[in-house]
Amino acid sequence: MHESGFDLLAAANQEMVDEGFDPNFPEGTKEQLASLRARAEPTRESGVRDLRELMWSSIDNDTSRDLDQLEVAERVSGGIRLLIAIADVDSAVSVDSPIDRHAAAQTTSVYTGIKTFPMLPEELSTDLTSLNEAEDRLAVVVEMVVAGDGSIASSAVYRALVRNHVQLTYNAVGPWLEGAAAAPSRVTAAAGLDAQLKLQDEAAQLLAGERRRLGAMSIDRIEVEAVLSGGRLDGIHSRGKNRATALIETFMIAANGVMANTLRAAGVPSLRRVVHIPKRWPRIVELAARYGEVLPETADSGALNSFLERRKAADKVHFEDLSLAVVKLMGSGEYAFARPGDANHGHFALSAHDYTHSTAPNRRFADLVTQRLVKHVLVQEPTPYTDEQLEEIARNCTLRENAARKVERVMNKRIAAVALEHRIGAIFTAIVTGVTPKGVFVRALNPPVEGLLVQGQKGVDVGDQLKVKLVGTDPRMGHIDFAVEGLMERAPEAGER
């Protein structure tokens, strides 16, 4: 419970059930976990390389406990040899076991802010299959050589035994890589890790540069994150990208591309992650025209990204709202079943023709399925799924992902309402984000939460910067109400931008 008497945890549980999720694990889970715990420590099997001595490290959120990836790099004659280790969840979760059936039904971990509802039991996702520090773990390794122009000169996928030598966080590593802070103590304490991370950053910059040249988009949005203490909500703060988050994101995109190419080259059916060419591209063109910009009539991700980068440089305050509008107009991604030889629908935002999800098997079922497919390719065995099963998995993963987003969106609004309930009467700087028949909506800048103008809304328009007073919150509905205190800046007319 919180001061308002509103129980966020109960609300999260109910929201999960309402959207068709099962927060509880099925019968047989305890027995399966007991069997896994009784196993010996992972050992080097036939066809599994021993790479534990490499300087592997992980970079993730401050609170992350389900570690899916490790990274290490070395300079070679052809560029930078980059290795990305992905947790071998398949080795612990067999197909059609109780835990696997639950994962297949849920398809994703759901992050409600107040609680994470894991796809896999925490004994697995945060322990036995997590690439935890100082633990030997089985992994699927994606190896690539990043050339000086940012292209991938060669690649391979294989199994290995790995060991995470240092667990790091985005908030500690990012400012250091940007030159805004000293090296974190965990970096300086490990001999050679600082140079290792600088080399990884160099590889990431090369890969990102090549992606931009190919037309990939890079949308930098600020998100609200709950601050918890002992399971209770202490407040909220904004979370954005930094150089460390961009490094990991770039590596995961590259690894997913290598996985997709590996499956395509093997001629096996697979799951693809698809973002279609936007059906509402004309509306995006129209939106750009408001800023005096001309986009091509045919959808072009590179041209769109260039436009967004210029707007971010010109008007960072309003960029968040423009970015959100473009994201909504592009539409969400989906999972698709692909037979050998099928035309690739591609990923519009990444400008990738062949793309899958494979780097988060502890929290996404599609990634676990892809891992199984590629492991069967490595030993030249038939895939463990029929075409019909893969088609159904793709459909269900898309449906459940959409449901998870709805749960997370509703809970974010409720958390914001609870976090602000003790600040009634406080004054915020805000931007008008929408003028609709339902009302006028504004987004406060700090913290970046959205609410409804219930007083003084007459005459304001999208893009206006206001001083607003918080006049009410409703955690049950997730509502936040503001009243206008004064106009700070009028949004320019289209011709003035």
Q: What is the pLDDT of residues 345-368, one digit of tens each?
A: 677 667 667 789 999 999 999 999
pLDDT confidence of residue 268: 94
Tell me the three state secondary structure of residue 435. strand
Token pair recorded at residue 313: 């440089």
Query: Minimal CA–CA distance to 164: which of 247, 318, 59?
Result: 59
Tell me if the pTM is above 0.85.
yes
Q: What does the alpha-carbon distance between residue 479 and residue 451 come to, in Å, rounded to a whole number?
A: 7
What phi and psi, each to the nearest 5 degrees, are found at residue 361? -70, -15
Are 335 and 275 in contact, with CB atoms under 8 Å apart?
no
> Is residue 309 classed exposed, middle or buried when 0-12, 13-18 and 19+ CB atoms within 10 A define those classes?
middle
Query: Which residues 6+ apart lie within 8 Å of 200 measured at CB?
Result: 71, 72, 73, 82, 247, 251
Rounded to 10°, the helix 98-106/365-378 angle is 120
Which of helix, strand or coil describes residue 318? helix
pLDDT classification of 493: cutoffs 50, 70, 90? low
Q: Give dist(CA 376, CA 383) in Å, integer.
A: 6
Strand pairing report for 110-111 and 116-117: antiparallel
Decide which of 212 and 117 is more confident: 117
Helix axis angle, 193-214 relative to 243-266, nearest 10°?
70
**272, 186 in Cβ contact below 8 A?**
no
Q: Is the dihedral of CA 217, 302, 73, 139 positive or negative?
A: positive
Q: How confident is the model at residue 461 (pLDDT cuts 50, 70, 90)?
A: confident
Q: Are the beta carbons of 142 and 83 closer than 8 angstroms? A: yes
Q: Say how many C-beta atoms besides its own lie within 10 A of residue 215's C-beta.
A: 18
The residue written with tokens 């401050």 in the block is 62
- In the predicted structure, residue 94 carries a pLDDT above the cut 70: yes
Share of the chain above pLDDT 70, in %: 94
Res 494 pLDDT > 50: no
Domains and CATH numbers, the chain: 8-275+336-416 (no CATH), 281-330 (no CATH), 424-496 (2.40.50.140)
Q: Average pLDDT, stretch 476-487?
A: 91
- Indicate the range of 46-60, 85-99, 250-264, 444-458 predicted with least confidence: 444-458
pLDDT (0 to 100) of residue 489: 66
**Where are the strands (E) in 358-493, listed by range?**
427-436, 439-444, 450-455, 465-474, 479-489
Question: What is the distance between the alpha carbons of residues 361 and 128, in angstroms, rounded to a whole number?
Answer: 13
Cβ 242 vs Cβ 178: under 8 Å: yes
Scored b (16 or more CB within 10 A) or e, 242-262 reads bbbbbbbebbbbbbbbbbbbb
Q: Which residue has the tokens 């914001």?
A: 416
Contact between 312 and 220 (Cβ < 8 Å): yes
Instruction: Give strand ranges (E) for 17-169.
Output: 48-50, 57-60, 69-76, 79-87, 110-111, 116-117, 136-146, 152-163, 166-169
The pLDDT of residue 18: 97
125 pLDDT above the threshold of 70: yes
What integer pLDDT is reported at residue 4 of this predicted model? Answer: 56
Backbone angles phi, psi at 385, to 5 degrees: -130, 145
**Residue 126, helix vs strand vs coil:** helix
pLDDT of residue 319: 79
Please say if the pLDDT value at position 49 is more than 50.
yes
Phi–psi pair at 336, nearest 5 degrees: -135, 140
Neighbour count for residue 281 (Cβ, 10 Å): 19
Please tell me which residue, 265 or 497, carries the higher pLDDT value: 265
Mean pLDDT confidence for 326-339:
85
pLDDT, position 189: 96
Mean per-residue pLDDT for 252-276? 93
Give the list of residues 6+ apart from residue 289 with CB closer than 8 angstroms, or none: 295, 494
Q: Count the helix, strand and coil residues of the chain and give each as a percent rounded to the nearest 5.
A: 40, 25, 35
Mean pLDDT of 195-223: 88
Q: Which residue has the higher pLDDT, 17 or 330?
A: 17
What is the SS3 assignment for 68?
coil
Q: Tell me what the pLDDT averaged over the chain comes to.
A: 90
Split at pLDDT 50, 70, 90, the class of 496 is very low
Percent of the chain with pLDDT over 90: 66
In this predicted structure, the answer to whether residue 165 has a pLDDT above a threshold of 70 is yes
